[in-house]
Amino acid sequence: MSRRKLDHYKFSAEAPNVIEKGKPLYDTVKGKWNELYFRNNNPIVLELACGKGEYTVGLGKVFPEKNFIGMDIKGDRIARGSLAATESGLNNVAFLRAGIQYSAEFFDENELDEIWLIHPDPQVRDRDEPKRLTNPEFLSSYSKYLKKDGLFCLKTDSTFLYEYSLETIGNSAQYKILEHTDDLYCSPLLSEHHGVRTHYEKIFVSKGYTIKFIKSIVIS
């Protein structure tokens, strides 16, 4: 392991805005994010597979009246988001180091107001569908944590994942698609991404890829 990664892991272990195994809140925060961490009653927004936390931090700056959680299994990536949030003085941003398949251990029913999924791995091979973060099983689990009318938003450069997700979300009895576009930057929905662009999104756009977007709500 590189020295840089080791430094990131050390930073994560010491950072108060990172919740990971071995820290007190890791086992007690479920259902109590606002009570134990944020210490307010503001809406909670979760970014799944947040990577370096660019979107979590970006939205945290745009919406100081909301609480944001970036969730990812990669500690070195989370450390970068943690540092960015700390340097920006964002008390409304936290990071959770855990696998998304274990979300039920950290979020209670109706605890979240929004879930964002930003440029996840599309997992295009058929055998990898269980890992696809908009498969029916994952969607069902997200709907439990979201309040009624809570938002679930997907942003992706992958036509495959966009079309797959339109089908899975559209066929789910738990969701209603409000809006979608296969070219966000040329769409009236552009404001829905609040001007936040990740490093890789900028690369995708520079190479001519269009950005796709789906906005849905939980109805049951």
DSSP 153-197: EEEES-HHHHHHHHHHHHH-TTEEEEEEES-GGGSGGGGGGTT--
- The single-letter code of the amino acid at 167 is E
Residue 54 in marked binding region: no
Catalytic residue among 7, 121, 128, 149: 121
108 catalytic per annotation = no
HSE-up (13 A, CA, CB side) for residue 71? 21
Residue 102 in marked binding region: no
Tokens at residue 198, please?
């990740």
Residue 198 in marked binding region: yes
Residue 137 in marked binding region: no
Find the largest Cα–Cα distance for the chain: 48
Residue 72 in marked binding region: yes
Let me know: does 35 contact 108? Beta carbons within 8 Å.
no
Residue 121 in marked binding region: yes
Catalytic residue numbers read: 121
Residue list, annotated binding site for S-adenosyl-L-methionine: 47, 72, 121
Residue list, annotated binding site for substrate: 157, 198-201
Residue list, annotated binding site: 47, 72, 121, 157, 198-201
